[in-house]
Amino acid sequence: MSNKSSWSHKALRVDLNKRHATVEEIPRKWQEQYLGGRGLNVKRLFDEVPAGTDPLGPENKMFFGVGPLNGTHFPGQRFNVTAKSPQTGILGDSNAGGFFGTELRFAGFDQLILEGESERPVWLYIRDGHLEFFDADDLTGLDTWETNHAIQKRVGDDRVQIACIGPAAEKGVAYSGIFTNLVRACARTGMGRVMAQKKVKAIAVRGQGRVDVHDPDAFSRIIEAVDEDILNHPDFPSRIVLGTTRLVTALNSLGMLGTKNHRTGVFAAADQVSGERLAREFNTKQKGCFGCTVPCSRYFIVREGPYAGLRSEGPEFESLGSFTSRIMNDDLPLALKCIDMCNRAGVDTITASACISFAMECFEHGILTEKETDGLDLRWGNGPAALRMLELMVNNEGFGSLFADGVREAARRIGRGSEEFAMEGKGLEVFMGEPRGIKAYGLGLAVASRGADHLRSEPFFELLDDPKLGQERFGVPEAALRMEPKGKGRVVKYFEDWCAISDALNVCKNTIVCMEVLPFDRAAELVAAATGVEMSGRQMHAVGERINSIERLFNVREGVRREHDTLPKRFTQVPLPPECGASAGSVMEIEPMLDEYYAQRDWDVKTGLPRRRSLVALDLEEEAERVLALGIELPE
């Protein structure tokens, strides 16, 4: 026992206008209430970025956060980036694995804040508690890999960790991300675009410091148990060989692999683009994030064909499905090429591919013709045309520039009924699962605080197909049955809270949530051993509720209400076609599911606004008052 804590309690605040940085003490109370990472980031965002802020104006701020497990030997560590999103206009937040976040902690910080806007392109070098600014004129236009190499060479230390943007962000592509370790991306909600606007090309970090925990014996005992649980988990073997790419085959066999812009849930050529084929023919070894005992990433090499010589790390399931089933492409090396292009240019694969599948559907219906597509023959499955369209998109030129702000804006620009082909919610494109076959996931997309994203809830519980377990854990047998709408409000609320803890601790949902290695009770024990802050499992759960609620308040301030918590009509009105087997004929019964969800959160069912009492119960009274002061009526 000691008075030590794995939190450094320090934030580095960078004024880009003045090229000046200050070290701030982070209030202990905030760290207890929000832990770190996504939690502390959204607390700051709510406090410091008022309603109506222009996401691309100097008043928008960026928060890079890590949590109390970063720097320890907890397996698999990440970091979060949070700002107001230029793609969606609401909460922007994204996280990535790799090594950057942990290095930030070794450099002495729990959080990095960027404010203002640099006059000239810069890159920042944080080294053991200090920050230096460097002109980045000569880095402008370099892709993420080139930027990484150039900075590593300049610093002369191969342990330096770099988070950078690619040329797409500099060219104004809204769905640009922030990339570390070449391929690990804070991809969603356009955080790279915000960084480009601030003219920050890259942040390099090197930390030689130590992280101490409050109770080393207790801490390492819990990690031993976590290690055991991971190793003995039935998913372990497939996760370390295939990572999430195993889902191509798994979801396809259940009729819920997002295919042909979500017109169906079955892709006939799934075997040719599956994770299994990737492992068999292309992978050379497994790769892992910091300290991870489930190395789910893979290094691959394409040895023949038009893309021979392509070698990189990844991809995970979403990227793989994005450039295969979604656009009906059966050419696996071409999909790998598309993903590589996204990584180097620095854009989100999910958004990019959703724009292409949208365009293909418009093309099929004659809404777009070769006249508008710069001559591209965008029929389904035309891989080379998709690759060319992607190139135009990441360069923000010609036909590609129509899509620079994502699919919602593209549909607005094109009009003529194309809106119904835009597979997005609140401006963010949906993932590669089929919501009609996994209804908790569908509800999760509809209510997710960063737009229609699956990683806000990841409610795999509904796939367990065990009514007894549904009754036991959620009081509703249907909670564990994926096709049933009932009980899903409860499941989603619970899993949203759990995912918030995972993101606030900045560790990986694959282990924390999907492999269930860190339930609330154990998370509380672990945080106590790391920081000395004692809390119960119930209090840990409340941290998750608090994070979700303050995110809702941020979005409420920007105008989000019940009517925005929805999904494209394709999911709510059009039944899945017969080939989808067990999932066939199904639609998302969104309204009753939303009712249940709001009731679970004690939010107003009619408006989707949080009730004041629910906020007071989570110590968010002050935040509620600030929303009320804007004239927004929070129901009693």
Partner 1 sequence: MKERLMISPEVCTGCRACEITCSFAKERAFWPQAARIAVIKMEAEGYDRPLVCRQCVKPACAGACPTGALARDDDSGLLRLDEDLCVGCAVCVEACPFGAMRMHPERDMPLFCDTCDGDPACVKRCTTKALFWGTTADYAARAGQQRELHRKRWQGMGGEEA
Binding of partner 1 at residue 554 (CB under 8 A)? Answer: no
Binding of partner 1 at residue 145 (CB under 8 A)? Answer: yes
- Site residues (CB under 8 A) for partner 1, limited to 564-623: none
Binding of partner 1 at residue 289 (CB under 8 A)? Answer: yes
Binding of partner 1 at residue 213 (CB under 8 A)? Answer: yes
Binding of partner 1 at residue 342 (CB under 8 A)? Answer: no
In the complex, the smallest distance separating the C-beta of residue 447 from partner 1, rounded to whole angstroms, is: 34
- Tell which residue, 541, 413, 435, has the closest CA to residue 483: 435
- Site residues (CB under 8 A) for partner 1, limited to 294-313: 294-295, 297, 299, 301, 311, 313
CA 256 to chain centre: 21
What's the rounded Cα separation, in Å, for the pair 250 and 242?
12
Q: What angle do CA 93, 229, 465 make, to 5 degrees?
A: 75
CB 400 within 8 A of CB 175: no
In the complex, the smallest distance separating the C-beta of residue 481 from partner 1, rounded to whole angstroms, is: 25
In the complex, the smallest distance separating the C-beta of residue 143 from partner 1, rounded to whole angstroms, is: 12
Binding of partner 1 at residue 106 (CB under 8 A)? Answer: yes
What pairing do the DSSP bridges indicate for beta strands 122-127 and 200-206?
A: parallel
Q: What angle do CA 500, 104, 125 make, to 5 degrees?
A: 135
CA 509 to chain centre: 11
CB 517 within 8 A of CB 527: no
Binding of partner 1 at residue 253 (CB under 8 A)? Answer: no
Cβ distance to partner 1 smaller for residue 107 or 328 = 107
Binding of partner 1 at residue 475 (CB under 8 A)? Answer: no
Cβ distance to partner 1 smaller for residue 75 or 166 = 75
What's the rounded Cα separation, in Å, for the pair 473 and 212?
36
What's the rounded Cα separation, in Å, for the pair 435 and 550?
26
In the complex, the smallest distance separating the C-beta of residue 230 from partner 1, rounded to whole angstroms, is: 9
Binding of partner 1 at residue 532 (CB under 8 A)? Answer: no
Binding of partner 1 at residue 287 (CB under 8 A)? Answer: yes
Give the number of residues in contact with partner 1, rule: CB under 8 A.
48
Q: What angle do CA 490, 575, 331 make, to 5 degrees?
A: 100
Chosen residue from 116, 172, 216, 519 binding partner 1 by CB under 8 A: 216
Cβ distance to partner 1 smaller for residue 296 or 479 = 296
Binding of partner 1 at residue 238 (CB under 8 A)? Answer: yes
CB 62 within 8 A of CB 164: no
In the complex, the smallest distance separating the C-beta of residue 301 from partner 1, rounded to whole angstroms, is: 8
What's the rounded Cα separation, in Å, for the pair 335 and 377?
18
Q: Which neighbouring-strand residues pair with 396?
A: none
Given the rule CB under 8 A, which of 235-243, 383-391, 439-447, 448-456 is the region that contacts partner 1?
235-243
Cβ distance to partner 1 smaller for residue 319 or 329 = 319
What pairing do the DSSP bridges indicate for beta strands 111-115 and 122-127?
A: unpaired
CB 107 within 8 A of CB 210: no
In the complex, the smallest distance separating the C-beta of residue 164 from partner 1, rounded to whole angstroms, is: 13
In the complex, the smallest distance separating the C-beta of residue 391 from partner 1, rounded to whole angstroms, is: 21
- Site residues (CB under 8 A) for partner 1, limited to 73-102: 73, 75, 99
3-state secondary structure of 81: strand
Binding of partner 1 at residue 71 (CB under 8 A)? Answer: yes
Contacts of residue 629, Cβ cutoff 8 Å, sequence gap at least 6: none
Extract the tokens encoding 198.
């601030």
CB 583 within 8 A of CB 434: yes
Q: State which amino acid sits at residue 128.
A: D
Binding of partner 1 at residue 241 (CB under 8 A)? Answer: yes
Cβ distance to partner 1 smaller for residue 4 or 611 = 4
In the complex, the smallest distance separating the C-beta of residue 158 from partner 1, rounded to whole angstroms, is: 7
Binding of partner 1 at residue 515 (CB under 8 A)? Answer: no
In the complex, the smallest distance separating the C-beta of residue 293 from partner 1, rounded to whole angstroms, is: 5
Which residue shows structure tokens 């920042």? Answer: 124
Chosen residue from 21, 242, 256, 580 binding partner 1 by CB under 8 A: 242
Contacts of residue 512, Cβ cutoff 8 Å, sequence gap at least 6: 498, 501, 502, 505, 518, 523
In the complex, the smallest distance separating the C-beta of residue 71 from partner 1, rounded to whole angstroms, is: 5
Which residue shows structure tokens 């991306």? Answer: 185
Binding of partner 1 at residue 286 (CB under 8 A)? Answer: yes
Extract the tokens encoding 111.
């959080």
Chosen residue from 20, 52, 138, 208 binding partner 1 by CB under 8 A: 208
In the complex, the smallest distance separating the C-beta of residue 274 from partner 1, rounded to whole angstroms, is: 11
Binding of partner 1 at residue 34 (CB under 8 A)? Answer: no
- Site residues (CB under 8 A) for partner 1, limited to 148-187: 148-149, 158, 181-182
- Site residues (CB under 8 A) for partner 1, limited to 5-24: 6
Contacts of residue 290, Cβ cutoff 8 Å, sequence gap at least 6: 76, 77, 97, 98, 99, 101, 102
Q: Which neighbouring-strand residues pair with 465?
A: none
Binding of partner 1 at residue 531 (CB under 8 A)? Answer: no
Cβ distance to partner 1 smaller for residue 56 or 292 = 292
Phi, psi for 185 (deg, rounded to 5): -120, 130
- Site residues (CB under 8 A) for partner 1, limited to 398-417: none
Cβ distance to partner 1 smaller for residue 122 or 202 = 202
Binding of partner 1 at residue 210 (CB under 8 A)? Answer: yes
Cβ distance to partner 1 smaller for residue 291 or 425 = 291
Contacts of residue 326, Cβ cutoff 8 Å, sequence gap at least 6: 258, 259, 260, 261, 262, 353, 354, 356, 357, 432
Q: State which amino acid sits at residue 507.
A: V
Extract the tokens encoding 15.
């004024």
Q: Which contiguous run of DSSP H or E holds residue 521?
A: helix 520-531
CB 118 within 8 A of CB 202: no
Given the rule CB under 8 A, which of 28-36, 232-240, 469-477, 498-506 is the region that contacts partner 1?
232-240
CB 447 within 8 A of CB 556: no
In the complex, the smallest distance separating the C-beta of residue 410 from partner 1, rounded to whole angstroms, is: 33
In the complex, the smallest distance separating the C-beta of residue 291 from partner 1, rounded to whole angstroms, is: 5
**Which CA distances in Å does 619 have to 39, 82, 497, 535?**
14, 22, 16, 15
Given the rule CB under 8 A, which of 285-293, 489-497, 531-539, 605-613 is the region that contacts partner 1?
285-293
Chosen residue from 22, 253, 272, 284 binding partner 1 by CB under 8 A: 284
Phi, psi for 313 (deg, rounded to 5): -110, 150
Interface residues toward partner 1, by CB under 8 A: 6, 71-73, 75, 99, 106, 145, 148-149, 158, 181-182, 208-213, 216, 220, 227, 237-238, 240-242, 246, 276, 279-280, 284-295, 297, 299, 301, 311, 313
